[in-house]
Amino acid sequence: MTDAAKAPALSVRGVSGGYGAAIVVKNVDLTVPEGRIVAVLGKNGMGKTTLLKMIMGFLPLHQGEVHLFGKRINGEPPYLIARRNIAFCPQEQPLFQDLTVGENLRLGLFDDDAFEAKLEKVGVHFPFLPDRLRQRAGTLSGGEQKMLIVARSLMASPRIMLIDEITEGLQPSVIERLAHVLAEQRRAEGTAILLIEQHVTFALAIADEYAVLNQGEFVDRGPANAADAAERINRHLSI
């Protein structure tokens, strides 16, 4: 029995699985300690998103276990996992386009009472949000939508965040802002973050560790501040 206090925020042990008979993720191990940021990099189609869907309970595991803060969660329905101090920013259809900004933010919380206080906190990071609560989320620009996704997941003050390719298609200035917000969140609240990325510079700028996923297996990992980290990752990512 692991001591819950010392248990990592997220621990993935020997996990395999995929869609139906197709095995996309093969015997993967991954640990995100409390308060740390781990970046998983890899080209498209290498199983990154699949791994997240398995952690969140949307896809069944063929093998292995997933533990969150020392508690085994695989087999639980997604909505129960989502209530375990975890915030998930999916890459596909991450927002309710036809709901307002305010409603999207509200859905980041489980009860409405704390809304004003949390909005104030999130508004520090993204000052445009409190002014535009009544706007439909689908009418925000691409960058604003990404910021709304992050803002929504910060509403509940999660202890761990799973973020899937948040930088995809973003302007450098927005990426810089998001990097700042995530680093600040970790510093202020000790939030652990699992970052799924293709943007090497962004990932290495805020992560403590990196791991490269190729054909559903981790082929390289190490500290993000290693001198050769970018070079090693790019070897796997390059065309």
Partner 1 sequence: MAIEMTSTAPIIRSLPWGKGAVVAVLAVASLIGPYVLDPYLVNVLIRSFFYASVALTVDLLWGYTGILTFGQSTFFGIGAYAAALVFTHVGFDPGMVWLALVGGVAVAVAVAGLVGWLAFYYGASPLYIAVVTLVLPIVATQLVLSGGTFTGSSSGLVGFTVIDLGIEAWFSIAAGGLLVLTVATWIFVNSEMGRLLVAIRDNEQRCQYLGISSSRVKTYLMMATAAVAAMAGFGYANFTMVVAPEMTGFVFGTELVIWVALGGRGTLIGPVVGTILLDVVSAYLSGSMPFVWKLAIGSVFVGVILFLPNGLVPMVGNFIRGGLRRVGMWWPEAVAVADITPMAHGIEGAQAYTDAPALDISHLEKRFGSLTVLEDINLVTRPGELVSLVGPNGAGKTTLIRCLSDGFERTSGSVIINGNTLDRQPPYDCVAFGVGRKFQAANVFDSLTVAECLRLARNRHEPLSAIRRSRVLNLPEPAVRVIRTTGLDKIMGTEARHLSHGMKQALELSMVLALEPSILMLDEPTAGLTKAERHLIGDILVDLAKHDAFCILLVEHDLDFVRQISTRVVVLHHGRIVLDGSVADVVGSELVQQVYAGSGKFGERK
Partner 2 sequence: MQVLILDIVTTAAILFAVSCGLLISFGVLKIINFAHGAFLTIGGYSALVVTQMGWDPLLAYPFSLLVGLVLGAAVERFIVKPLYDRPLDAILATWGLGIVISQVITIVFGRGVQFVQSPVTGAVELFDGSYSVYRLAATGGAVIIGGLLALLMHRTRLGLNARAVIMNENLAQALGINSSSVRLIAFGLGAGLASLAGAIITPLSSVDPNMGVPWLVNAFMLVLVAGSSLLALLIGSVVLGGLQLVISTYGSPILGGLTIAVAAALLLRIRPKGFVLD
Give contact residues for partner 2 (rule: CB under 8 A).
56, 58, 77-79, 82-83, 88, 90, 93-99, 103, 106-108, 110-112, 152
> 150: Cβ–Cβ under 8 A, 6 or more apart, which residues?
89, 125, 126, 163, 166, 178, 181, 182
**Of 80, 53, 59, 90, nearest in space to 168 by CA:** 90
The strand pair at 22-32 and 71-72 is best described as unpaired
> 103: Cβ–Cβ under 8 A, 6 or more apart, which residues?
96
Q: Is residue 24 exposed (0-12), middle (13-18) or buried (19+ Cβ within 10 Å)? A: buried
Cα(94)–Cα(158) distance, rounded to whole angstroms?
17
Least distance (Å) between residue 162 CB and partner 1: 17
Least distance (Å) between residue 209 CB and partner 1: 19
Least distance (Å) between residue 56 CB and partner 1: 18
Q: Which amino acid, residue 14?
A: G
User: Does 171 participate in binding partner 1 (rule CB under 8 A)?
Assistant: yes
Picked from partner 2, partner 1, none, the partner binding residue 79 (CB below 5 to 8 A depending on kind) is: partner 2
Least distance (Å) between residue 175 CB and partner 2: 23
Give me 209's structure tokens.
């560790």
* Closest CB to partner 2 among residues 44, 93: 93
User: Does 175 participate in binding partner 1 (rule CB under 8 A)?
Assistant: yes
User: Does 22 participate in binding partner 1 (rule CB under 8 A)?
Assistant: yes
User: Does 43 participate in binding partner 1 (rule CB under 8 A)?
Assistant: yes
Picked from partner 2, partner 1, none, the partner binding residue 118 (CB below 5 to 8 A depending on kind) is: none
Contact with partner 1 (CB under 8 A) among 2, 14, 19, 107: 19
Cα(143)–Cα(139) distance, rounded to whole angstroms?
11
Contact with partner 1 (CB under 8 A) among 91, 100, 114, 184: 91
CA 103 to chain centre: 21
User: Does 93 participate in binding partner 1 (rule CB under 8 A)?
Assistant: no
Picked from partner 2, partner 1, none, the partner binding residue 199 (CB below 5 to 8 A depending on kind) is: partner 1
> 160: Cβ–Cβ under 8 A, 6 or more apart, which residues?
9, 10, 32, 68, 85, 86, 87, 191, 192, 193, 194
User: Does 139 participate in binding partner 1 (rule CB under 8 A)?
Assistant: yes
User: Does 227 participate in binding partner 1 (rule CB under 8 A)?
Assistant: no
Picked from partner 1, partner 2, none, the partner binding residue 99 (CB below 5 to 8 A depending on kind) is: partner 2
* Closest CB to partner 2 among residues 90, 221: 90
